[in-house]
Structure 1
Amino acid sequence: MPDAALDLRATLDAQRAAAAKAGEPSLAERRAHLSALDAVLSDAADRFHAAISADFGHRAYPETVLAELVPLRAAIRFAHTHLRSWMRPRRAPVGVTFQPGRAWVEKRPLGCVGIVSPWNYPLFLSVGPLVDALAAGNRAMLKPSEATPRFAALLRRELARAFPADRVAVVDGDAAVAQSFTALPFDHLLFTGSTRVGTAVMHAAADGLVPVTLELGGKSPAIVAPDAPLDRTARTLMVGKLFNAGQTCIAPDYVLVPEDRVEAFAAACVESAAALYPHIANNDDYSTIISTRHLDRLQAVVEEAKGAGARVLRDVSHAAEAGDAERSKRMVPTLLLDTPDSVAAMREEIFGPVLPIVGYRSLPDAIRYVNARPRPLALYAFTDDAATERHILSRTLSGGATINGTLLHCAQTALPFGGIGPSGTGTYHGKAGFDRFSHDRGVYRQGRFSGFTVMAPPHGTLTRLILPLMLGRSDGGKPH
């Protein structure tokens, strides 16, 4: 076994030994863990942003605050407030056959949880699951992405100041380390990332029968209903699409618009992009693409679509500075019209500021288009009509959804978050996260008298009298 794998296993073994020695943490201890985590976020907020921004090349400061720091601290407050009720055992009914007796369900920590997080929101997607794992009384090992090494090193240092390694440990390293990490015999493994890597993670976990939660991605659609106001919808859509330069797993990946409104909607989107970001190159409000390799991939996606007959739309001023933007590792907002379904822009998750617009003849056609594709992580519907909203929601299936907006369902601490099918398996956040990292242990306490024991062998007259009553028969209990 390589040295890195040995070190990982030693850390996991130390956490298991500490859990066996200390036992299940109390409510007060769990709240103390959450408070310690909150203090880390408060004290190191600027350092976290600086590290993330350095890893990206540039990350807009408001995006780090709004998408990472604010929702994390809200999640901690929410868990702290509701933890007592979440931990409380739940009474369960006892069947008449087993009276007198009591039954209940108690929440027990799973043990040691592994968390593998991606680079696009490295703080939120590392610490978010950690909030839930600590609330549920677990110990945790975290493996941030190798694409954000400065952030990973900072997270390791900051969490080491707040927690002993046998409670919370951060592992940084390359893809080989990540591969060894996912092969560890955790009590639960949560992975956030691409579907391709998620498949490999699930295979690795299966070898050790490790239960997994997969938060993947895919192509999240937006459906613009015929009644939706174009200007308002276009601005709202572009705010979500261009947040973090489109590098968001739940960003709208294509938008369905009534075919007679496609041109007007596309123009409104271009205008909105220009209003949000009057210039692109070296704009502090606009985040960079994580790496040159990813930027090259996005440009190739656009060029392939263009070569296949798609129309490429950009604001005039944005297009004029495309070269300068690329030198600063930024990509100008780009719309694609008349894009064939065969190209990568319509087959693969884009993960950048590129948005295909697809026309539809009727709302049922739009719904059929969505349902003909793998179930998405998120779905967005734009309509002011309650019946249309219900129609779209009731005839589609996605991990989550936002109406008349984008991204925001993920920020709701009281809502579960997760995918379905190819976009993921399992949910977390808030109570759903507490449940995800807890074991529901059923307990039955037998009373002094037990009807079940009375009917133990050797079976006599009493058993023959009781059995037909239990079966709802009146034939004396004789088998047919």
Structure 2
Amino acid sequence: MSMLLSETDTVCNPELKAQFDEMQLHFAAQPYLALSQRIRLLKSLKRELLTLEAELVAASSKDFGFRTAFDTVLGDILPTVKTISYTIAHLPKWAKNSPRKAGLSLAPSKVAVSYQPKGVVGIISPWNYPIQLSIVPVITAIAAGNRVLLKVSEFTPHTNQVLKKLFTGELSEHCAVIEGEALLSQQFSCLPFAHLFFTGSTAIGRHVMAAASKNLTPVTLELGGKSPVIITAQADIDKAAKAILFSKMTNAGQVCVAPDYVLVPENLQHQLVRSLCSLYKKHYKLGVDGKNLTSVINSHHFQRLTDLLADAQQQGAQIIKPLDENQSDEHKHRLGLHIVTDVNDNMKLMQEELFGPILAIVSYQALPQAIAYINQRPQPLALYIMGQDKQINEGIQQQTQSGTFAINDTLIQVTADDVPFGGLGASGMGNYHGIEGFLAFSHARNTLKTGGFNPKLGLLLAQNKILIKILKWLYLRP
């Protein structure tokens, strides 16, 4: 989505409007799905996912030009299936009414919070993890009892066709998969959803939120930004390099929580670069000719990455390639690791989210410098610390803000089932995963129950002075 909608653009095409209306009818016919039915739907979805595993791996590889089975199975299918299993196991507990204290003033009434579905929700998914980032929000929305329209990325047409196979039969009444390019995405955001969930860039997230605001549609925005790594003086450099390389080469660095830059003590920079290069040569010795390296999604994004490197080099940055050859293949849009040193804030790669196998190195002399560098910029989606000093690590955690936070590891914090995932500020709004996801797609309804007769009603209607004195004595004392 490249621009805000004009008044004429807000008119949906008839097919999209018809799909929305159909889901509205399904919801109106059954506005509260029994938990047993939700669980049955989730089990059916899990079976279909497992059945279609090989097709999803093949389709995803076609969409990327080449994508390793590791990236699709470990990064897409496994976390999706795990989420279904976890949700099924915990949904009965999540959906139970939550008793609350009514207090003496409301006695003998009882109060509770009940969780009801919001209605028809919209989900806009990205291309980088086209299975997980499409289906996991759908899982959560269905678990909360909603109907779903899922807008998938136009960059992954082969994967989209397999995803459509998931939602047939009974599941088709609960989720419909929508395909289309930028204009359809714009029109999709303008539908009067009960909730709109978007995963993508910060720039497009702003437009999604603006479009949703016209209908007062609440939004969850899972965005990105420039996620840093702080290497402290106490870090094991070789272990830190392993964690960083894993995160930069998984899915060719096309991960919203992949590190964009590393803050490293000046005296450890050379050691870090040497360790990264050594590890890359060991694990990716064939470079872009290897079968363990996923391609950049398409030629447009490949060109974007090479332009970022060219801009940095023109401004004095040093580009370090671990291999002398096989570092780039324009025809197949494949790119090996590129380490960039001597960077400055005027370089585009220090201003934009990289989303590729490029890693900027920023040296610092004292830790407060590194903390200030992060705090002077928008809050990142992820912040990583490499170091063994518990007190220093806790100090960094307390002095910074980020969507997620991990010590001596990268990426895997987002796979934990029982914790929320989401950003803040420019990196996102709201959470999903676990119970927080269920709550995001549910309306927490204030529920009061009174027996056949409330003895206070007569006194309240009469504005009884004694009752007022008692209430003032109970609640209006210093």
**TM-score, L = length of structure 1:** 0.95
Please point out which of 407, 411, 424 is paired with 2:411.
Answer: 407
Out of 20, 23, 33, the residue aligned to residue 25 of structure 1 is: 33
For structure 1, which runs of at least 5 residues remain unmatched after alignment?
A: 475-480
Of 245, 250, 254, 1:238 maps to 245
**1:178 counterpart = 2:185:** yes
Distance change >3 Å, CA 155–CA 472, structure 1 → 2: closer
Amino acid paired to 2:129: Y
Alignment match of 2:321 (pick from 297, 314, 317): 314
Q: Which residue number corresponds to residue 132 of structure 2?
A: 124
1:115 is matched with 123
Letter in 2 for 1:118: P
Task: Pick from 426, 432, 435 the counterpart of residue 428 of structure 1.
Answer: 432
Distance change >3 Å, CA 465–CA 321, structure 1 → 2 = closer
TM-superposed CA distance for 1:460, in Å, is 4.1
Paired letter, 1:437: F
Return closer, same or farther for 1:250/1:460 CA change in 2, 3 Å cut-off. closer
Alpha-carbon distance in 2 for matches of 1:459, 1:321: 85
The secondary structure found in structure 2 opposite 1:379 is strand
Corresponding position of 2:306: 299
Instruction: Please tell me whether residue 211 in structure 1 is matched to residue 218 in structure 2.
Output: yes
Identify the residue that residue 221 of structure 1 maps to in structure 2.
228
For 1:52-451, list aligned pairs within 5 A.
52-161=60-169, 163-164=171-172, 166-315=173-322, 318-322=323-327, 325-450=329-454
C-alpha RMSD over aligned residues: 1.7
Instruction: Supply the AA of the counterpart residue of 1:207.
Output: K
Structure 2 residue runs without a partner (length 5+)? 1-7
Residue 5 of structure 1 deviates from its aligned partner by 2.4
**Which shows bigger deviation, 186-195 or 147-156?**
147-156
Q: 1:229 to 1:205 in 2, by over 3 A?
A: same
SS at match of 1:340: coil
Alpha carbons 2:423, 2:429 under 8 Å: kept: yes
Aligned counterparts of 2:431 and 2:472: Cα–Cα separation in 1: 44
CA distance in structure 2 between the aligned counterparts of 1:62 and 1:149, rounded to whole angstroms: 20
Give, in whole Å, the separation in 1 of the partners of 2:228 and 2:451: 56
Give the conservation status (yes or no) of the 8 Å contact 1:99–1:451. Answer: no
Any conservation in 2 of the 1:262–1:359 contact (CA below 8 Å)?
yes
**Distance in 2 of aligned mates of 1:456 and 1:247:** 63
Deviation at 1:284, TM superposition (A): 1.3
Supply the distance in 2 between the matched residues of 1:162 and 1:280 (Cα, whole angstroms).
46
* Equivalent pair of 2:380/2:402 in contact (CA under 8 Å): yes
What SS does the aligned partner of 1:319 have?
coil
The 2-side partners of 1:150 and 1:464 are apart by: 69
Quote the offset at 1:451 in angstroms. Answer: 5.5
Q: In the TM superposition, what whole-angstrom CA distance separates every residue of 1:51-89 from its partner, at most 9, and x where no partner exists? A: 111011000111101111111111111011111111111
Change (3 A) 1:106 1:203: same
Q: 1:13 aligns with which of 21, 24, 27?
A: 21
Question: Which residue identity does 1:319 align to in structure 2?
Answer: D
CA separation in 2, counterparts of 1:44 and 1:5? Answer: 31
Residue type at the aligned position of 1:320 = E
The amino acid of 2:327's aligned partner reads: A
Q: Which residue in 1 is equivalent to 2:5?
A: none
Letter of the 2:154 counterpart: E
SS of equivalent residue, structure 1 residue 71: helix
Instruction: Return the alpha-carbon distance in structure 2 between the equivalents of residues 464 and 101 of structure 1.
Output: 19
CA shift digits 1:261-303 (9 cap, x unpaired): 1111111111112222111233111000111111111111111
Question: How far does residue 422 in structure 1 lie from its aligned partner after superposition?
Answer: 0.3
Shift of 1:46: 0.9
Match of 2:3 in 1: none
TM-superposition CA deviations, 1:312-354 (whole Å, max 9, x none):
1111xx332235x333321121001110111111111011111
Report the alpha carbon displacement of residue 472 of structure 1 after superposing the two structures with TM. Answer: 4.1
How many residue pairs were aligned? 470
**Counterpart residue number, 1:478:** none
The SS at the match of 1:327 is coil
Deviations 1:380-425 (A, max 9, x none): 1111222122111111110011211111111111110111000010
Letter in 2 for 1:352: G
Query: 1:251 deviation in Å?
Result: 0.4
- Tell me, in whole angstroms, the C-alpha distance in 1 between the residues paired with 2:103 and 2:185: 48
Residue 208 of structure 1 aligns to a residue in which SS?
coil
Any conservation in 1 of the 2:138–2:148 contact (CA below 8 Å)? yes
Identity of aligned residues (%): 37
Q: Distance in 2 between matches of 1:217 and 1:116?
A: 15
The residue number in structure 2 matching 1:458 is 462
Cα pair 2:105 2:471 within 8 Å, conserved? no
In structure 2, the partner of 1:46 is 54
TM (norm. structure 2) is 0.95
